[in-house]
Amino acid sequence: MADFYQNDLIITLHRLGNPGLERIESELMEFTRQRPVALVLPALVTEFEGEAIKGIVAELKKVRYLREIILSLGRANDKEFQYVREFMSQLPCEVKVIHNEGKRIKEIYATLERNNVWPGEDGKGRSAWISYGYVIANAQSDVIALHDCDIVTYNRGMLARLCYPVANPNIDVVFCKGFYSRITDKMHGRVTRLLITPLIRALQKIVGPNPFLMFMDSFRYPLAGEFAMITDMARTNRIPWDWGLEVGVLSEVFRNYSTRRVCQVDIADNYEHKHQLLSADDAQKGLMRMSVDICKSIFRFLAAEGIVLSDSFFKSLQVAYIRLAEDTMVKYEADAAINGLKFDRHAEASAAEAFSNAIKIASDTYSENPMAAPLIPNWNRVTSAIPGILDMLKKAVDEDNR
Amino acid sequence: MENFMELLLQPLRDFGITILQFVPNLLAMLIIFIAGFLFSRLIKLLFLRIFRIINLDIWCDKAGLTAIIRKGDVWSKPSDVFGGIIYWFLIILFLVIGLSALRLPTIDNLIAQFFLYIPRAFSALVILIAGYVFAGFISRAVLITAVNSGYHYAKILAEAVRLLLIVLILAMSLEQLQIAPGIVIAAFSIVFGGIILALAIAFGIGGIDAAKRIINAGEPEQPEQPKQNNEKKNDKEREAEYL
């Protein structure tokens, strides 16, 4: 990234000149003596069949400043769990694998459910949430960093830059989100480019200046799955268990912390991971499902802020969104042209139409039941409901990893 | 010859009579076992239903009993655990009753001892549960007090108090169960006495100045001594050192 522009609300940390990975890592070694860092990795067992995780582990082997790594493993049987444990044991720091399908963790979920603490459906949100619980129970780390396990272009510089602002005691930041561009021979990141940004700006047009919408618009890549935060945030923030995870996390950060203590950091020149199909005809699959969940999450937060979301509001929103999405497409077409990237105008327009449909589905669903928030309660509430739950969780994970 | 045959047949006859007398007892034992098994299952199901109605699992979760069970690496629901305990208690009870139907003097003695032991086992269990809750309460109180006093090692202190109390409770339970009571009491006395002695020595060495201050603070003020002699002496000493 060539510019050094700062927006009004949050801090933006650019990649300027040659920052030097060794310098950042050596400083992190110092900082993490005061603020130890835990890395949370939500993963499905199928990801261990691919090449991305091997690259990630090869890079993490060189990282020396992490106190612990917690890998939350989904959809694995006991044999696969043991394989993943062995695979992860090559890392130099303490590694704990959470066996979400194991009898102990299942009993933890059952305990939560019978006490009316709904831990949500199986997915990244629940995996991240249970990992935060373990970090809190283990009481070893003051900072939590999280990234996905399907990053093909992973290097340890990403993690270092992600952790640096929160681990550095001289930078008063509680939450740091990564940003990057996603290009191959064309631009990716359709949901961010063609749904989130035009939708947020369309909402701003209708609602007027709104702190939450301005906050959301400040992020260069609001759907980036990579972030770092102080461990206390894991106690106070709720997490959505559906596809609205990233937007939901930002909403909770906005709600509970000052925007001056939030930053975004340029973690990579390029980023490549598993691509999802649009599934324009099926709102239960692919990017369509993600889009519907994201829209619902934004609508619910706006309603909670006291904004009236009526039928006429949603009708205006759809029209405003389509106009802005079309304008955005023109900008991206020009951007692609100057950079020599392919740009399929028809595919982009089809995606925008599908997203418009997603907004309609989300608004209908919201209107039917505005209270149905897919949020997992924060850990403060959970420990209030079941005082011994963190001890139980620690015991379950430690026994599984014995 | 007839006498000889009689000698041979008599033990067999006696054995046959004994078997005939024993078979009804054996049958009674088997019937008691089967009935006991069925009854135990029925009672277990009944208790499980009662536990569900009174929300025992939720109560255990909130009271911290589930966490205690999990510490033993038991991952069934608390109601299943208690149901299992009741079930196995009844099974053992019916096993004992069934064996008593055999009317064998050795087994009768064992059964008598078993029934005498039940109250001890029950009181040991009560001591364990109540003691654990009490230890948790005291540990929490120590933690809060120490934190409020700004004590840096509050958590370690609270855990140490909790550990000491649990050692005490375990010793009491083992003594109640009459499991090597002499050894338990001796071991407990040595361990507990050792800890207290270590603490006393640690406090004595580490807190010698504090103790001095406390003792001096309680003493009445001494009348002022004539200082001249001391001052003179000090002057002389200083001169000597200087020379």
SS3 (DSSP) at A309: coil
Q: Are A388 and B61 in contact (CB under 8 A)?
A: yes
Residue B1 has pLDDT above 60, yes or no: yes
Q: Best mutation site among B75, B79, B133 for testing chain A: the one with the most A CBs within 10 Å?
A: B75
Task: Name the A residues in 105-164 with CB < 8 Å from any B CB.
Answer: 107, 110-111, 114-115
Mean pLDDT of B216-221: 68
Tens of pLDDT, residues A166-202: 999 999 899 999 999 999 999 999 999 999 999 999 9
Whether residue A388 lies within 8 A of chain B, CB to CB, comes out as yes
B107 membership: H or E segment, kind and range: helix B105-148
Mean pLDDT of B82-106: 90
pTM of the model: 0.82
- For A192, A263, A295, A302, A334, the CA distances from A327, given in Å and listed in that order, are 15, 28, 20, 24, 11
Q: How many residues comprise chain A? A: 402
> Which residue in chain B is spatially nearest to A392 when comparing CA positions?
B67
Q: Is residue A3 part of a domain?
A: no
> What topology is assigned to B119-213 in CATH?
Helix Hairpins (1.10.287)
DSSP codes, B183-205 = HHHHHHHHHHHHHHHHHHHHHHH
Q: Is residue A169 part of a domain?
A: yes
Domain span(s) for CATH 1.10.287 in chain B: 119-213
Sign of CA dihedral B187, B189, B191, B192: positive
- Mean pLDDT estimate for chain B: 85
Tens of pLDDT, residues B76-88: 999 999 999 999 9
For residue A191, give the CATH number of its domain. Answer: 3.90.550.10
d(CA B39, CA B43): 6
Q: Best mutation site among A78, A391, A400, A402 for testing chain B: the one with the most B CBs within 10 Å?
A: A391
- Of the listed ranges A69-78, A160-169, A290-299, B187-196, the least confidently predicted one is B187-196
Q: Determine, for residues A388 and B75 on separate chains, whether the beta-carbon distance falls below 8 Å.
A: no
Residue A2 has pLDDT above 70, yes or no: no
SS3 (DSSP) at A96: strand
What are the chain A neighbours of B155 within 8 Å (beta carbons)?
none
At residue A1 the predicted structure's pLDDT band, cuts being 50, 70 and 90, is low
Structural domains counted in chain A: 1
ipTM here: 0.84
Give me the pLDDT at residue B116, please.
85
At residue B224 the predicted structure's pLDDT band, cuts being 50, 70 and 90, is low
Between these two residues, A118 and B209, which has the higher pLDDT value? A118
| Host domain of residue A299 | 11-400
Q: Are A222 and A376 in contact (CB under 8 A)?
A: no
d(CA B119, CA A275): 67
At residue A313 the predicted structure's pLDDT band, cuts being 50, 70 and 90, is very high
Q: Which residues of A192-228 are buried (b: 16+ CB within 10 A; e: fewer)?
A: bbbbbbbbbbbbbebbeebebbbbbbbbbbbbbbbbb
How many residue contacts between A and B have a Cβ separation below 8 Å? 42
Amino acid identity, position A183 = I
- For A1, A134, A221, B9, B10, the CA distances from A218, given in Å and listed in that order, are 16, 31, 9, 107, 106
Residue A211 has pLDDT above 60, yes or no: yes
Q: How far is B70 from chain A (nearest CA, A)?
A: 6
- Minimal Cβ distance to B67: which of A115, A385, A388: A388
Q: Which residues of B touch A (CB under 8 A)?
A: 57-58, 61-62, 64, 66-68, 70-71, 73, 75-77
CA A341 vs. chain centroid, Å, equals: 27
Between these two residues, B38 and B149, which has the higher pLDDT value? B38
Q: Is residue A6 part of a domain?
A: no
